[in-house]
Structure 1
Amino acid sequence: MMKVSVISTVSGLGGSNVVTELAQETRELGGHWQTSKVITLADQFTALFLVMIEEHKLADFKQAMSRRFSELSFEYSIPKMEATNFSEPISVTVHCVDRAGLTKDIHELMQGLELDVEQFSFFRAPVTMLGDSVYQANIQLRLPSELNIEKLTEKFEELDPGLRLSTLG
C-alpha cells in the first residue's frame, strides 16, 4: 500500500488533552504523525501535523477527524518537500527538582530539536524533607535521523544542572 504525507492544520479552542486526543485518533485511523508544531495562546491553539497515512485511507481520515473534533477547524495540504526520517518510538523520563517554567522550557527544547512527540505527561510532587517539589515527565518520542539519544540527553541536561534523562526499554 502506498503511503502519502499530508500536512494537517488544526485550530480552535484547545483543552490540555486535545493534542493527545488528536494523536490517538490519528493512530486509530491508521495514520502516524511524522512531526508536529503546536502554538497556544490563552485557550486557543493552532497545530501543524505532518501525517503519514495509506493513500486509500486519507479521505476517511479527513472525514473522521472533522466528525470526531467538530469544534475544531481542519485544513489539509500536500508538503512540498520530503519529510524528515524519524527513529522508532523511544520512551524517556525526565527527573529533576521542579521550578517555574520547566514544562515550557522542555516543550521549547523539543520543538527546537524537531522531535516527533507522541505522548507527553508529567507530574509534580512535594518532598517535605527537601522543602521542594520534584518533577517527572514521561515522554514517548521519535528522534530525527540527525539526532541520537546521547545528544538528546546532553541537550535535556543543559536545561538544568540537576536534570536527568533516562530511557526506558
Structure 2
Amino acid sequence: MKKVFITTVTGEVTPGVVKAMANVTREVGGEWVTSKVIKLDTLFAAMMKVNIEENDETSLKSRFNAEFPTLTFSYAEPTQELSASTRTLHLNVDCGDRPGLTREIVDMLSNLNLIIEHMEFNRMHVSTIGQTVFSSKLALAVPAEVSNDSVVELLEGIAKDARVSILAA
C-alpha cells in the first residue's frame, strides 16, 4: 500500500545534495510528487512530498539519516488539500520600505483568510532616490469568491507608493 508524507530538510548547501536525495528516494522505490527548494547564503531548506510503499518508508528515512548526517530531516503527514474552488494568485508588491511592513502584509492576508503559499521579499537601498525599497513576490491561495482586484487594492493600501502587479502563473 502506498504512503505519502512530507519531508523537510535543512542544512549547509553542498553540490549535488538535492540530486543525491532524489536518487536515494528512487533507489528505495519512492518518488517525489512535488518539491520546493530554497537557498539563502550557505544554507538551504527543501520540502518534498514523497510517495512510497508503506513497507519502504522506514528504510528511506534511515538512508536519509545515514547518507546525509549533516542535514536535519523532519517528517509530517500531509494535511487536507485546498478546496477546488481555490486558485493561486501570483503577485509582485513594490514600495518604499518601513519597519513592520512584512508583518502588516501577512496580517492583512491572514485577516482575509488567504493562505500564503510562497512569500519572498528583498530590501534594497537605492542610492539614486536615497531610500530603501521593498520588493516581494507572493503566491496566495484565494477563494473563488474573492476577486483579484480586491486583493490588489488592499495590498496597494499598505503604502502611498505601493505598486502591486499580477503575474502570469
Per the normalisation by structure 2, the TM-score is 0.53
Give the C-alpha shift of residue 129 in structure 1. 2.3
Alignment of 1:46-61 (within 5 A): none
**Cα distance change, pair 107–58 in 1 and its aligned pair in 2 (3 A):** farther
Structure 2 counterpart of 1:118: 117
Structure 1 runs of 4+ aligned residues shifted over 2 Å read 28-31, 57-60, 62-65, 70-79, 82-85
SS at structure 2 position matched to 1:99 = coil
Say how many residue pairs are matched: 131
Per-residue CA deviations over 1:123-143 (Å, capped at 9, x if unaligned) read: 011112222101100112221
Greater C-alpha Rg: 2
User: Are 2:148 and 1:149 aligned?
Assistant: yes
Per-residue CA deviations over 1:99-150 (Å, capped at 9, x if unaligned) read: 1000111111121122232211010111122221011001122211221110
SS at structure 1 position matched to 2:98 = coil
Structure 1: segments with no counterpart, 5+ residues: 1-7, 9-27, 32-52
Per-residue CA deviations over 1:87-108 (Å, capped at 9, x if unaligned) read: 1x23210010001000111111
Structure 2: segments with no counterpart, 5+ residues: 1-5, 7-30, 35-48, 66-70
Alignment of 1:1-169 (within 5 A): 29-30=32-33, 84-85=83-84, 86-87=86-87, 89-169=88-168
Structure 2 counterpart of 1:15: none
Letter in 2 for 1:156: L
SS at structure 1 position matched to 2:143 = coil
